[in-house]
Structures are given as C-alpha cells and as structure tokens.
Structure 1
Amino acid sequence: MTIAHLLEDFEINLMDPSRVRLMDEDTLEEYRLTAFEQGYSAGWDDAVSARSEEQGQLNATLARNLEDLSFTYHEALSQMTQSLEPMFKSLIGTVLPQTMDRSYTHHIVEQLKSMAREQVAQPALLIVPSGVSATLKPILSEEFSFPVQLVEESSLPAGQACLRVGTAERDVDCSALLSSISDAMDSFLHQAKEVS
C-alpha cells in the first residue's frame, strides 16, 4: 500500500474545466488598463515621495550652509573688531585729542569770521581757557582787521571757548565732540563683543 493518498498533489492540470476561465477581449483590456493605472499611480506616488524627500534634504543642507555662513560672518566680524580695538582706543585716546588741539584755533577763527560777517562792525569778545591766549593772539591779529578782545577764564575746560560778536554768541566745545566720539566707539565695541 502506498502513502500517496496522504500527500498533497501539487500537479496542476491546466486543462481541468473547473480551473480554466476564459475572458473576452473587453474584460482583458479593462484588466490591463486597471493594472496600468495602478502601476502608473504607484510610480507617480514613488516619484513625488522621492522628490519631496530630495527637496527636504536640499532645504536642510541649504539651512545648515546658511547657518554656517552666518556664524562664520559674525565670528569674522567679532575677531576683526577685537583686533582693531587697540587701534580704535589709540585713535580716540591719542590721535583725536592731538588733532582737536591743532584744529582748536582754526575752528575758533572760522567761527569768528562767520559771526563777523553777520554782525559787521561789532565788538568781538573771545573767552578761552587759561594758557591758550598766547597761541591765539598772533593768529587773531593776522586774520582779523578789527580788534578781538581775548579773555582767559580759568574755570573754562580745555577745548572750549565762548565767542561773542555784537549780540551773537557761540560756544565751541571740542572736548564734548571728542567725548561723544569716544562714547560711540565704546558702545560699538561693547555691542560687537555682545554679538560674539
């Protein structure tokens, strides 16, 4: 006796009438179109998904590069500012005061000329800090044909002067300008250090 009846039969009989099902041309074409549409749709979805993923990666890479570039710019600006700080301090502490001292008399002469044009034939009074009149007297006598009364005031700080021609009066304050420039530079350096 054989055990064939216990084992499953894997042999397929294609010609068995219960297995064979014939399709007409319309049904077969409809089946093909449905299969094509499903394949096309799946391919389209895969392409859109791949494109979205690629776009996301490009955006992430661009964002990282911009962040690196921004960091590099701020880092470079900070380093440049810190390296220039001694030069700025030297400029404000040494060069600008010397320049103001040299231009002090020139500035006073220009202001007096301007006021004299506006107030013709009026008496002129110039009040300056102590120790400045010796430098100013030769310049005033050379520049002006009318007399300028020069008065030294010990309470007047260096870099300042008071000009009066007739009823007009002007104050010259080079030290306030220097202080303003120094404050602006300190503020800039402080802000540059805060950013870094």
Structure 2
Amino acid sequence: MSVSHLYESFSGRAASPTQQAEQAEDEFEDVKLNAFESGYQAGWEDALKAQGDAENKLTEEFLQNLQDLSFTYHEALSKLSVGMKPLMSAIVTKLLPQVAAQSLGPQIIEQFETLIKDQSDTLVEVAVAPDKQPVIEALLKEQETVPFTVVAEPALSAGQVYLRAGQTEREINLDAVLEGITSGLVAFFHTVEQENKHG
C-alpha cells in the first residue's frame, strides 16, 4: 500500500492518471480502515454495555429472589409459631408440672447427698409444703444413716423445698423454673402475634 498521498508533492508536475488512481485507491482503503475501526470500537462498546446490563439484571433478580425467599421463610416461621402455640401451651400447663413433680424427689435426694458430704453429723432439716410432707418423709427414709427431719411450712408451694444443715441452706424451686418457662413462651408468642399484625 502506497503512502505517497500523505505527503506533499514538491515536483512541479501534475500527477498522472495512474498516480491519481493509486491515490484514490489509497484514500478509499484509509476510509475503509477507519470505518472498520469505528465499527469495531462501537461493537466492542455495545458488547461491554450489554454484558454490564446482563450482570445488573442478574444481580437484581438474585437480590429479589433472596428477598422473596427471606419473606417466605419468615412467613412460614411465623405461621408455624402460631400453629405451635396450643401445643406449647399444653406442654407448659399440663406436661411440665407433672415432670417437675416427678423430678422433685430425685432433686431433693441429690441436694441432700451433696449437703451431707460436708456435714455428715449435722441434723438435716427439709422444709416442704404441708401436702408434700408425707411423700418426702417416705422418700428420705432410705437415708437412715443421716439424721433428718421433714417440716411443713405453709408458705412454701408444692414445687419449693429448702434443705438446711447448720449454716448451709439449699433451695429447690421448680415453681420458679416453670414460671420462667411460661413467661418466656408468653413473651415469644406475643412478639410473633405483633409481627403478624404489623406485617
């Protein structure tokens, strides 16, 4: 390819028809090359823009799907929580008190044995609610090696027991445990209901 057309001719002669044809062909090639480069650059920019748009669309769709999934999860959890309320209420009001009553004896024995390790020659006083006195006396009869007495204290509830040996006192309060569980569940279901109201 000739580049002579790019330089000024200092010869006094006019260009021959052949030279003019070559110059026109060179100019035409330059125009084609410039058009190709412009088209290539425009195509490249369009491709980059299309890729950026596609990535943005994918990101938006992904974020929307995450939001929908989160909403669906919270909605399902909320409905499940509300549906579980009757079951949890029945467990707290019926089952747990029975379990607590059955576990009272083993807990008293455990605390009793711990207490007598340090003070084996001291009289152990076990304070219970009046209606629990005969049951606890029968339970502790197996601990004959340690002197004990079971006293009824009207101020105590069925789930409360105090064990005293000398200056040491231990408390078992299953009623407080049950009350804490009940309060926690009431607060939990109240929160769920408030969230459902406010969407």
- TM-score scaled by structure 2? 0.81
Which protein, 1 or 2, shows the higher relative CO under an 8 Å CA cutoff with sep ≥ 6?
1
Gaps of 5+ in 1: 1-19
Q: Following superposition of structure 1 onto structure 2, how do residues 1-196 of structure 1 map, counting pairs within 5 Å?
A: 23-24=23-24, 26-196=26-196
Q: Which residue identity does 1:48 align to in structure 2?
A: L
Q: Please give the secondary structure, in 1, of the residue aligned with 2:150.
A: strand
Taking a change above 3 Å as real, the CA distance of residues 144 and 35 of structure 1, as seen in their structure-2 partners, is: farther
Counterpart amino acid of residue 145 in structure 2:
S
Task: Say whether the 8 Å CA contact 2:116–2:146 is kept in structure 1.
Answer: no
Contact 2:81 2:192 in 1 (8 A): yes
1:162 touches 1:169 (CA, 8 Å); kept in 2? yes
Is the CA contact 2:131–2:158 (under 8 Å) kept in the aligned structure 1?
Answer: no
Once residues 117 and 27 of structure 2 are traced to their aligned partners in structure 1, the CA distance between those partners, rounded to angstroms, is 109
Given that 1:74 and 1:195 are in contact with CA atoms closer than 8 Å, whether structure 2 keeps it comes out as: no
Given that 1:159 and 1:174 are in contact with CA atoms closer than 8 Å, whether structure 2 keeps it comes out as yes
Deviation at 1:123, TM superposition (A): 1.3
Post-superposition shift, 1:98?
A: 1.0
Note the alpha carbon deviations across 1:86-117, whole angstroms, 9 max, x for none. 01000001100111111112211111111111
Q: Give 1:21 shift.
A: 8.3
Q: Which deviates the most, 24-33 or 154-163?
A: 24-33
The CA deviation string for residues 100-152 of structure 1, in whole angstroms up to 9 with x for no partner, is 11111221111111111122211111111111111111110113422211110
Quick check: 2:126–2:162 contact (8 Å CA) kept in 1?
yes
SS across alignment from 1:111: helix
Task: Name the CA shift for 1:21/1:189 in 2 (closer, same or farther; >3 Å).
Answer: farther
For 1:1-43, what per-residue CA distance to the aligned partner results, in whole angstroms no more than 9, with x for missing partners? xxxxxxxxxxxxxxxxxxx987355534432221111001110
Q: Deviations over 1:20-79 (max 9, x none)?
A: 987355534432221111001110111112112212221222122111111111111111
Give the Cα–Cα distance (whole angstroms) in 2 for the partners of residues 37 and 192 of structure 1: 64
Cα distance change, pair 109–144 in 1 and its aligned pair in 2 (3 A): farther
Does the 8 Å contact 1:127/1:150 carry over to 2? yes
Which structure features the higher share of helix residues? Answer: 2
Instruction: Out of 137-146 and 176-185, give the one that drifted further.
Output: 137-146
**TM-score normalized with structure 1 length:** 0.83
Percent identity for Structure 1 against Structure 2: 33
Aligned residues between the structures = 178
Q: CA deviation at 1:187?
A: 2.0
Q: 1:143 is paired with a residue of what secondary structure?
A: coil
CA-atom RMSD in angstroms: 2.1
Change (3 A) 1:92 1:184: same
- Counterpart CA distance in 1 for 2:21 and 2:195 is 80
